[in-house]
Amino acid sequence: MRVFKIFLINFIILSIIVITVFNQQEVVIKIKGGMPTIPVALPKFIIHSDNIEIIKAAQKIREVLQADLKFSRVFELVPEEFYSYIRPLNPQNIFFKDWESIQSNILIVGEVASSENNKLIFNGSVYDVRSGRFIFGKKYRGGIKLVRLIAHKMADEMMKAFGEKPLFTSKIVFVSDRDGNPEIYMMDYDGYNQIRLTYNKVIDLLPSLSPDRTKIAYTSYRRANPDLFIFHIYTGKTIPISTQGTNYAPSWSPDGKRIAFCSSRSGNHEIYITDESGKNLKRLTFNKAIDTSPDWSPTGREIVFTSDRGGTPQLYIMDAEGTNVRKISYGGTYHDSPSWSPNGDKIAYVSRVENRFDIYVLDLRTNQIIKITENNARNENPSWSPDGRHIVYSSNVSGTIQLYITDYDGRNTKVLTSKGNNKMPDWSH
């Protein structure tokens, strides 16, 4: 009994210590179940070339890789000045004790050489510092213009090596009026390489990028009616999917085979599922109210959607067959635009309170709600990153509508766009 008491007291003291330590690590614990970020050393790359273009490209790869790792909330970078405290890196003979002394767990050794046809070769080797063990290596060859992609690919390999979902080569599709009228655009997760996808010269809305990133489903008024189309990005082919009534808010199933969307083709706004040819149409809701904004669960077995069947727009979940409908939102009179997290445990959505729109995240396991934005503006259309740690959304906080990216806890908010108005983002999963 006495032994048990001592054990219990010890346990409590230990718990307090653990909690204090974890509190310093902030909310990371929430998602990683207590796993802090991994300190990574990313010293300057070894460059086997005198070519100034190659030297610049090597610096760029390192910069982008640093930005990606910093963004991840999985890794953290050892402060740059620490590298001057130890012996310079020799890839043939690494003194791991040096790298341990500057508190790094992981060491990334990058080497860059020039290749034929004005290309470069990047070689990344990743080591576990304590054991001195080689974890993995990657070799990329590509044109100097592709340095950002090379860095993103390396960063994705880092994520995969640590059991995380890659996200740095993912894409975000969105609507922009920068060229005069709302058209669909696509960009990298960090806002680089913004390119225009549609040229309908009317109004295009609410795009959804297929999981293989080769197609978008979207609404266009190109035929003087809000119709749903699928556009094949790399062939230029456009296929009409649903063209009666208002057709919008498409969402690709995780396997990329089906699309859930809203249509008033029956006379009322209902949720339908179809395949990418627009065939095998199946109606899921049969309710006099407005049912809209469907989004698939990562398993493809359920769909979250908005309905005002209770009087005001609220969030519901149903099975992908349309059965077993249950309400999940509470505490508010206007919720819409639900986005199911790739881990399946959270729903991000928009809630309106006194003309302000904010992004909230509902934890389906604990039923807790976290407010993500707090800026006295209209924040809309949240969409999760492929790893579920970040959210892209639109906000008019600056006066124009722009896209912002933030972490699952509302930290590290950063603007991604600046030209014209930019809205309705969808992050590929």
Partner 1 sequence: MIKKLIVILLASLLVLLVLLSCKKRVEIKPPVPPPTKVEKKAMPVEEVEETPAIAKPALTEEEIFKAKTLEELNIEQPLQMIHFDFDKYDIREDAKPILEKNAEWLRRYPTVKILIEGHCDERGTEEYNLALGEKRAKATRDYLVILGISPDRIKIISYGKSRPLDPGHNEIAWAKNRRAQFIIIAK
Nearer to partner 1, 86 or 377 (CB): 377
Nearer to partner 1, 153 or 269 (CB): 269
Residue 335, CB-side half-sphere exposure with 13 Å CA sphere: 26
Tokens of 384: 């999760």
Residue 111 is which amino acid? Answer: E
Nearer to partner 1, 101 or 376 (CB): 376
The residues pairing with 303 across neighbouring beta strands, listed in sequence order, are 296, 318
Find, among 35, 46, 47, 45, the residue nearest to 66 by Cα: 45
Nearer to partner 1, 181 or 238 (CB): 181
Find, among 346, 349, 233, 249, the residue nearest to 294 by Cα: 249
CB of 380 to partner 1, least distance (A): 6
Nearer to partner 1, 206 or 403 (CB): 206
Q: Return the number of other C-beta atoms located less than 10 Å from residue 271's C-beta.
A: 26
Residue 228 is which amino acid? Answer: L
CB of 371 to partner 1, least distance (A): 17
CB of 391 to partner 1, least distance (A): 16
Nearer to partner 1, 31 or 175 (CB): 175
CB of 282 to partner 1, least distance (A): 20
Nearer to partner 1, 230 or 315 (CB): 315
Question: 3-class secondary structure for 86-153?
Answer: CCCCCCCCCCHHHHHHCCCCEEEEEEEEEECCCEEEEEEEEEECCCCEEEEEEEEEEEHHHHHHHHHH
Q: Residue 15, SS3?
A: helix
Find, among 319, 320, 348, the residue nearest to 335 by Cα: 348
CB of 396 to partner 1, least distance (A): 8
CB of 417 to partner 1, least distance (A): 17
Residue numbers at the binding site for partner 1 (CB under 8 A)? 182, 203, 205-206, 224-226, 245-246, 248-249, 262, 264, 269, 290, 292-293, 306, 308, 313, 334, 336-337, 350, 352, 355, 357, 378, 380-381, 423-424
Find, among 427, 205, 168, the residue nearest to 295 by Cα: 427
CB of 203 to partner 1, least distance (A): 5
